[in-house]
Structure 1
Amino acid sequence: MELSKKYSDPNSTMIFYDKLSDKELAVLLSNKDRSAFTEIYNRYKAVLFLHSLRMLKDDLEAEDLVHDLFSALWTRAEKYNIETPLNYYLYRSVKNRVLDVFAHKKVQNKHMESLQEIIESGSYITDNTIREKELGKLIEREITLLPKKMREIFEMSRNQNLSHALIAAELNISDKTVKKQINNAIKILRNRLDLYVFFNFFL
């Protein structure tokens, strides 16, 4: 008996979704059967979480990834190709999403490195683009908000291109203090510039 007829028969007994095969659940899913979706979720959520966790090494990222995967599965349920084995589709989806996360992090890290180079060198305008000019203004504004002594040391290093030793001698402090103040300034600036800045100004 065909699945559609089997479950549309008013005289048939209650459907026990946990007894259905993946293939049967996939057919019902493609017809937007919410109970079938719930069974798929309950059947695979734990193993998919562990699968993604092994690759991401982060509980929250793995949890978010699996949640987004199932949200997308339900949203596009009617387009699901029932010829594709459900377990294969889900595992492949996890892998693809993990690769997307890695790619995103790679881009993000690249932008963080670019920002640090810009902060340290003061080279805000390399090709006269509007985005870089705006980023330069943003960084300059944040520099003015640094603690007074930290700002002074940072600007002596960045603007006057003085070595740590020369700054230490001029301010009568240790080289170690100079290095710490400059590193703290860079850390503060990076923390203040939210991630959206990178995507607005570098992408």
Structure 2
Amino acid sequence: MEISHPQSNALLTSDWKNNFESAFKTHFKGLHAYAFTVVKDSTIAEEIVQQTFFKIWEKKDQLNIDTSLTAYLYKTVYNHSLNHLKHEKVKQAYQAHTVHHMKNNTDNAEKKVLLTELQQKISVALSELPEQCRTIFQMSRFEELKYSEIAQRLGISPKTVENQMGKALKLLRVKLVDYLPIILIILPNLLIQ
């Protein structure tokens, strides 16, 4: 782990575990309050802070903090909070989209059942995608963003977006193979690149 700022060297010692524990105890309450101001849900705010510390622990050997530890933690919690809100917005748009389709097809009970089942299968398939794949796929398909817009929002290259979309589409096609004819009729642009 490389840490260039003297204030952030607290974690970079032979006693990493104790320093990590101390940082968690010192910053948890403030980070939770900060996340709560963004997501407006105490439980989710707690999960975001825990996720932040988990990722730091998980990547402790590759971690490179070039600001103070406090600034790094708050920035990371802020980014995780925004990602949560984006994910919720996409989920709500998807649910509204599905509800809209279901209302338009009330004359056919079989279609309703099929759409519900399809929605569940798509939700499960989406939830099984790696996080970055899922986020990129949802931004592309549900927010209708171009690859360059997604790359800019996520701070990654357009090529990475393209690769992750290819991976997401491939995985979803495999997971939803039994539903492809229905998807092609009802949601034609969902699994087509």
Contact kept? 2:65, 2:72, Cα under 8 Å = no
Work out which of the residue numbers 140, 157, 161 in structure 1 matches 2:113. 140
Contact kept? 2:105, 2:112, Cα under 8 Å = no
TM-score by length of 2: 0.53
1:22 offset after TM fit, Å? 4.5
After TM superposition, list the pairs within 5 Å mapping 1:83-102 onto structure 2: 83-102=66-85
Paired letter, 1:73: I
Deviations along 1:45-103, whole A, 9 cap, x unmatched? 11000000111110110011011110001111122224331111101101110110111
Give the 3 Å change call, closer, same or farther, for CA 119–79 of structure 1 in structure 2.
same
Contact kept? 1:32, 1:77, Cα under 8 Å = no
Deviations along 1:117-138, whole A, 9 cap, x unmatched? 1111119xxxxxxxxxxxx967
Contact kept? 1:52, 1:62, Cα under 8 Å = yes
Work out which of the residue numbers 1, 7, 11 in structure 2 matches 1:26. 11
Counterpart position of 1:49:
32
Distance 1:194 1:22 in 2: 48
* Structure 1: runs of 5 or more not aligned: 1-20, 124-135, 143-188
Paired letter, 1:53: F
Counterpart position of 2:123:
196
Give structure 1 regions of 4+ aligned residues with deviation exceeding 6 angstroms: none
Q: CA RMSD in A?
A: 3.3
1:26 offset after TM fit, Å? 2.9
Give the 3 Å change call, closer, same or farther, for CA 137–72 of structure 1 in structure 2.
farther
Aligned length: 122
Q: Identity, % of aligned pairs?
A: 20
Give the 3 Å change call, closer, same or farther, for CA 22–194 of structure 1 in structure 2.
farther
Higher-Rg structure is 1
